[in-house]
Amino acid sequence: MKMKLKEVYSALKINVENAPDIDITGVCFDSRKAKAGDLFFPLQGDRDGHEFIGSAISNGASASVWQSDHEIPNGDIPYIVVKNVAKAFDTLAKYYLAKVNPKVIAVTGSNGKTTTKDMIAAILATNNNVAKTPLNFNNEIGVPFTILNMPINTEVLVVEMGMDRPGQIEHLSSLANPDISVITMIGEAHIEFFGTRSKIADAKMEIVDHLQEDGRFIYDGDEPLLEERASKVEQEKLTFGKKDMNTLYATSIKAGKTTTKFKTNLWQDLEFDIPMMGEYNVKNALAAILVGQALHVKPETMAKALANLYVTENRTEWLKAKNGADILSDVYNSNPTAAIEVLENLKNISTPGRKIVVLGDMLELGSASKQLHESLADHINTRDFAKVYLVGDEMKALKAKLSQKYSSEDLIWYSKDQLTELTNNIKKELNSSDTILLKASHGIHLENVLNNLV
């Protein structure tokens, strides 16, 4: 970002004479990360952001926005007084986006949006100056923050959009006005708040509400809920998936422990190689390839970019236990779709010893929780997984189903308060040749188990 303070006043439609000659080179809402050149926005969170203005100033902020219903303090920096800080944040973001005028790629989906965002950015960075959502800053604060902190020479902006309620993505889409909108997939994430996958699909489709008239909509063509809704979209549509009726689909997949190779229908002799486990990541790559093709990146260039991919948030990672056993860790996120995908991919990986799984509750599934936890039973059997450890009240439903397949010695349930006991039992049981999967929603805190194993 690069703007004079006078320009900020103008963008917010505030008339001020003799504005200080200050360069604004970034925005921040976390006072601890404020630095010289930053404009501080005291946004409302668990606490009122105005409480932290002193911290922002001491850390170097050059100016601050201030809401008019708060008493304006004396200070050594300029205050931009507005009626609503959050609305001013959005207004300035829309102004700056129009000023820089990059191509905007918006990405959402129940799973895979962060990975897909990183794949798209890597592909497009081969031909363009690219900025992207940092980490998973994908909400009402994260999206305008992403826009306002992109460099002035940005040619393509890749924006991740998340949601936990209807209308949220429509708002984010209105800020970004994307040239290309991407939906990775529809799963059960946040179904507690939406009730059905159909309603989740409705909410995800808000990403096309502000799609440019000459824009493109790229989505999972294997998903009937999206196919049905896409028929109402007037802009060009491109699909990816497993089925051969899609615009782009994989013709062969070779899944490995740390890499996945595949070919596609469009370039039969070109093999793509992504440094990630899982056939589910092939779909993410297909979405990114369609974006790259739309912006005229050569197939060979895209393959090279994906082969050298660095992923912001690869939650599924391989680690080594202290005794040498392999650990497949995904302790910060879980939902039925993601859990099934990891289980199915782990089945296909060759290991010298036993495969053991530790599954914790999948949260925010609402009234469907029991049924969705039970559904994992179809993907767990004694042939593939020697032992199963389950953690949390919701996992009692899965234990009841699996008790028909497993003995009490090989199927053990723990409450979320018994992680120390679980850890000790795993340490006693785990051999150096074994492979163990740890997967749960973050609220179960399996990271405490993981930290005691590695």
Collapsed DSSP state (helix, strand, coil) of residue 5? helix
For domain 102-307, give its CATH number from 3.40.50.720, 2.40.240.10, 3.40.50.300, 3.40.1190.10.
3.40.1190.10
Ramachandran category for residue 444: left, alpha or beta (phi over 0 → left; psi -120 to 50 → alpha) = alpha
* DSSP assigned state of 229: H
Angle, in degrees to the nearest 10, between helices 85-100 and 168-176 = 40
Collapsed DSSP state (helix, strand, coil) of residue 85? helix
Give binding residues as ranges. 109-115
Q: Which of 428, 446, 447, 329 is nearest to 392 (CA)?
A: 446
The pLDDT of residue 313: 56
DSSP E strands in 171-298: the ranges are 180-183, 216-220, 236-241, 248-255, 260-264, 272-274
Collapsed DSSP state (helix, strand, coil) of residue 218? strand
Strand 387-391 relative to strand 103-108, pairing: unpaired
Q: Encoding tokens for residue 202?
A: 């409705």
The pLDDT of residue 192: 77
H helix runs in 63-149, sequence order: 85-100, 113-124, 142-148
| Tens of pLDDT, residues 392-442 | 999 999 999 999 999 999 999 999 999 999 999 999 999 999 999 999 999
The pLDDT of residue 76: 80
Collapsed DSSP state (helix, strand, coil) of residue 311? coil
| Tens of pLDDT, residues 159-215 | 999 998 999 999 999 999 999 999 999 988 778 788 899 999 999 999 999 999 999
**Count of CB atoms within 10 A of residue 52's CB?**
21
Give binding residues for ATP as ranges. 109-115
Flag residues of the chain having pLDDT under 70: 312-315
Considering the domain 317-453 in this protein, what is its CATH number? 3.90.190.20
Dihedral sign from CA coordinates of 44, 45, 48, 53: negative
CATH class entry, domain 3-83 = alpha beta
The pLDDT of residue 312: 66
- Cβ distance 80 to 251 under 8 Å? no
Burial of 205 (0-12, 13-18, 19+ CB in 10 A): buried
Q: CA–CA separation, 357 vs 435, rounded Å?
A: 8
**Count of CB atoms within 10 A of residue 75's CB?**
13
List the domain boundaries for the chain: 3-83, 102-307, 317-453
